[in-house]
Amino acid sequence: MKKIVLTGGGTGGHIFPLLAVAEELQKNGGVELFYIGPNHPLNAEFAKRGIKILPIASSKFRRYFDWENFTDIFKFFWSILQSIAHIFYLQPSLVFSKGGPGALPVVLAAKCFFIPVVIHDSDAVPGFTNRISAVFAEKIFLAFAAAAKYFPKNKTEVVGNPIRSELVEKATNPQHSNILKNVGMSILILGGSQGATRINSFISTNLKELLKFGKVIHQTGENNSGAIINYSATKNYRPVAFLNAAELGQALSETALVISRSGAAAIFEIAAFGKPSILIPIEESASNHQKANAYEYAATGAAIVVEENNLNWPTMKTEIEKIMKDKKRARTMCVAAKNFAKPDAASTIAEKLLQILQKE
């Protein structure tokens, strides 16, 4: 049985797409999967799927001064040695990398043993790790067409961003095909897998006004739930630290509008369900990729972008009203979102990985 190593990490934006591809590979059978990467709470999801985890040290390249940059240099070289040991032990036939902290050492280790590497980048502006990894990659998959200019044309393909099978099944279920059935009923707030402090603060300040538009479901993040604890007893407001795939699918299927950060995972999940959205890119994202993601997606007509320096209630109220009180516009945004979505991204990548394996 041939072995495939999955690598990537740092956030749910790296790990969830890996899980989505892993699920599709397991459906096809005939391969054994392993995950090599830094420790992360979401790594448990690999174990649940029978994927063995081989941990390595975590290091991060920061584009600003931080004393941890000096210690992380040593961690980085140590993680390369760990990765070489793991790759030597496993002798995989292929490495699939999502980028992020921890992925580059595994890619470098794979090339030491002449093992093919395939990478995927989720953002409109590719990350540092993937830009380097692309030099060694046999194939490069992208979520956004805008990122293609950073990579060689002959080995680059735009496939979308993999989303988990539970979400795909929910999004494509005919029961939820009436994309306007809940307009005027509920708003879903997403801050990414870790939550968003500034969005939480904005919601806690303006919740009374927001609730005038309908029910609110709010993913706060594990470390940020305290920001809205005073509102937990409000009948039409449901704060939750984290939404698993089943809960997120249910929330997306029932909501009329999504207010979200603009990580690629969130954008493609929202698009799969054909929901209008207001995107609030985080200002500190690497290479300002969230801003690039937001405007690339908004250019399709599926979303409105509100930057953090404009995050105030008069502005948000105006943008919410444009969607919640104008069914024609809401329908147009729904259609644009569905047209942008690529719910088959995970199965497409899995199929192409298996094709590469057959050539080995």
Residue 63 has pLDDT above 80, yes or no: no
pTM over 0.85: yes
11 annotated as belonging to a binding site for a ligand:
yes
State whether the Cα torsion 88-89-93-94 is positive or negative: negative
331 annotated as belonging to a binding site for a ligand:
no
225 SS3 class: helix
315 annotated as belonging to a binding site for a ligand:
no
Who wins on pLDDT, 226 or 159? Answer: 159
- The answer for residues whose C-beta is within 8 angstroms of residue 57's C-beta and 6 or more apart is 38, 75, 76, 78, 79, 82
Average pLDDT over residues 1-30: 91
pLDDT of residue 285: 67
Domains in the chain (CATH in brackets) are: 2-163+344-359 (3.40.50.2000), 167-340 (3.40.50.2000)
pLDDT of residue 204: 86
pLDDT of residue 182: 44
CB burial of 256-269 (b: ≥16 within 10 Å; e: otherwise) equals bbbbbbbbbbbbbb
345 SS3 class: helix
301 annotated as belonging to a binding site for a ligand:
no
Supply 256's token pair.
Answer: 């009329």
Residue 208 has pLDDT above 70, yes or no: yes
- pLDDT-based confidence at residue 102 (cuts at 50, 70, 90): confident
pLDDT of residue 268: 96
Average pLDDT of the residues of the chain: 88
- pLDDT-based confidence at residue 73 (cuts at 50, 70, 90): confident
**Terminal Cα distance for the chain, rounded:** 13
- The answer for residues whose C-beta is within 8 angstroms of residue 309's C-beta and 6 or more apart is none
At 143-191, the pLDDT tens digits run 999 999 999 999 999 999 999 888 988 887 756 544 444 444 689 999 8
Supply 307's token pair.
Answer: 């930057």
Average pLDDT over residues 129-145: 96
79 annotated as belonging to a binding site for a ligand:
no
pLDDT of residue 230: 54
pLDDT of residue 241: 84
Average pLDDT over residues 331-341: 96
Q: Which residue has the tokens 């699920």?
A: 23
193 annotated as belonging to a binding site for a ligand:
yes
